Amino acid sequence: MFGWTEPAASVLERGGSLTELWRVGPWVAQMLSEWIADPPEIPEPPALRRGFLTRADVDAALAGHDDWRTEIRADLQMHTTYSDGSVPLPGMAEAAAALGYEYIGITDHSKGLPIANGMDEERLARQGEEVAALNRTLRAAGGGPRVLHSIEMNLSPEGEQDMDPEVFSRLDLVLGAFHSKLRTTEDQTERYLKALANPTFHVLAHPRCRMFNRRLGLSADWEKVFRAAAEHGKALEIDAHPNRQDLDIELVGPARDAAAGSSAPLAALCAARGDRDDHLWRGHLHLFLHLH
């Protein structure tokens, strides 16, 4: 379970109650106790559930690295009410200030994703004015993070952007992301290579497009994709949402190796869409991926 800070067996070993665990009541606790006492045969998990880390995995990996929180200086993947987020722009800056962040990237969706209330050019410009005004207010108050006007640009399956390149050139940071034809099982190497050659964006967001128990993610010749990203100076996102973990842990090492010496190795970004505890879990995962 993503929300469990320690394995169920460890809770029992220290004399604790399984109801301490996230979303575990008496009935589930009884079932878990019986399974731990007499383990059933555990089948191989389906592909949709493989390769995901639990919170306990992450906490164990971070043991001895107690300074990880101080190393997180920013969140560069934030959605507001301009698209599919639930908090207005000032609220995101306020939450980031409470976490001690130095800067944040506001990356609402672009118009190519209408299901997520993607912004057109007019709304993007209006948001830019609000970002500028907010930065002036924060400077005058003597505190708070610098707000970067950014976007999560929709990439077509052909690797093309959904707005005029001039629009993106005015932004501080541009993420590019696939949002369509995500369940195809055919090799998508050429799709990635075309996208990475597109000069309008800086970071390839949630590269595999996988989701726990919902979407397997795209397949490709990843070494070739990572080399192309390095050649084009593109960063690769590690989306640390528990249900995404994308890039996943198996691919982070090869991506880091391919990026060695390039101008944009890896971008550890985490989407700020949950509450504070959820955000801290993502921070745990985001540093874990860098440590391995």
Report pLDDT digits (tens) over 10-28: 999 999 999 999 899 999 9
Task: State how far the Cα of 215 lies from the Cα of 230, in Å rounded to an integer.
Answer: 27
The mean pLDDT value for 19-41 works out to 94
Sheet of 74-78, strands arranged across: 74-78, 103-106, 146-155, 173-178, 203-204, 235-237, 266-267
8 A C-beta contact, residue 268 and residue 284:
no
What per-residue confidence (pLDDT) applies to 266?
54
Nearest to 1 by CA among 21, 15, 16: 21
Percent share of the chain, pLDDT over 70: 89
pLDDT band (50, 70, 90) for residue 277 = very low
> Is pLDDT of 283 > 70?
no
Q: Domains along the chain?
A: 8-43 (no CATH), 62-291 (3.20.20.140)
The mean pLDDT value for 77-90 works out to 94
> Is pLDDT of 140 > 90?
yes
Report pLDDT digits (tens) over 217-276: 999 999 999 999 989 988 888 888 889 999 988 998 888 888 776 655 555 444 433 333
> Is pLDDT of 30 > 50?
yes
Q: How high is the mean pLDDT of the chain?
A: 87
Instruction: For tokens 């101008």, name the residue.
Output: 263
Give how far Cα 273 sits from Cα of 100, 212, 279, Å. Answer: 18, 17, 8
Helix (H, G, I), strand (E, B) or coil at 133: helix
Task: State how far the Cα of 117 lies from the Cα of 6, in Å rounded to an integer.
Answer: 38
